Chain A
Amino acid sequence: MGKKTNLVGEIIQDPKVKPLSPHLQVYRPQITSVLSITHRMTGVVLSVGSLGLASWIIAGAFGEQVFSVAQLIISYWISQLLLFAWTLCLFYHLLNGIRHLFWDAGKGLEISQVTWSGWFVVSSACVLNIIFWLIAYGFFAKLV
């Protein structure tokens, strides 16, 4: 779109527009960078969800009727779906947070260890979330 080019077709940069470094968009997504931003994104999701959770407790202070409305809202399938996503974020943020604490202690910083622990955190979060919801819906109780 109307970019100035020189004689051999190279784009001439506007001298006022300085190139930025690093060029995030030219990097192939890697487990390290993707999990790093995921930690922040899950943090935001958890924050929003925490306000909802707090509202549930606050509803309890208004008495039986308000609390039963809150319980009804939570029981809707869309709420349950959101809660499923929220607990997945919770398990991920919890496990990856522990991974960060290990790094702060100077442990597990080799690239191979970072890659390994990254995949471990992702898979463990998924497994824990499924186990949590199976217990919540009384799946294991039915087996006994």
Chain B
Amino acid sequence: MAREGVSHWWYQRLTAVALAPLTLWFVWSTIQLMGVDLAGFRAWLSGPVNLVLSTLFVCTLFYHMKLGIQVIIEDYVHDHVLNSLGLIATNIVSVVFCVLTVVSIFVIVFGS
């Protein structure tokens, strides 16, 4: 669609800048979470900083992913139908996984 190029480019960079420190935090966190059970995971996730950063990381990651895959489909899938289907699938998968993951984070922390 017309006139979306600039905002797409801009959001791609914005999410990239946000993801750089978030990814380092995530990498560091995974080292501490290796082989932990659910109680340990819940204890870690319940820290307010970890809860906020996890949620931010998941949302930013899936948005960045959606923008990136979108560009790849636009550049390499020339078949009109496949192109449209690919873009729709990308949107659905990104949104569904983002929502499911964020809901899961809150279920783990605040659920029974």
Contact = CB atoms under 8 A, between A and B. Distances in A.
Interface residues of B, number: 35
Nearest to A128: B27
Interface string B25-45: 001001100111111011000
A44 interface: yes
A25 B101 CA distance: 42
Contact of B27 (A47, A58, A90, A100): A90
Interface stretch (A10-18, A63-71, A107-115): A63-71
A100 B62 CA distance: 20
Interface in A42-96: 43-44, 46-47, 50-51, 54, 57-58, 60-61, 63-64, 67-68, 71, 75, 87, 90, 94
B95 interface: no
A34 B69 CA distance: 19
Given A61-B111, A94-B20, A132 B31 contact: yes
A47 B31 contact: no
B69 A47 contact: yes
Interface of B is mostly: helix
Contacts of A64: 37-39
Contacts of A40: 68, 72
A60 B61 contact: no
26 contacts: A40-B72, A43-B72, A44-B69, A44-B72, A46-B65, A47-B69, A54-B58, A54-B100, A57-B104, A58-B100, A60-B108, A61-B103, A64-B37, A71-B37, A75-B35, A87-B27, A90-B23, A90-B27, A94-B19, A94-B23, A94-B24, A97-B16, A101-B17, A132-B27, A136-B30, A136-B34
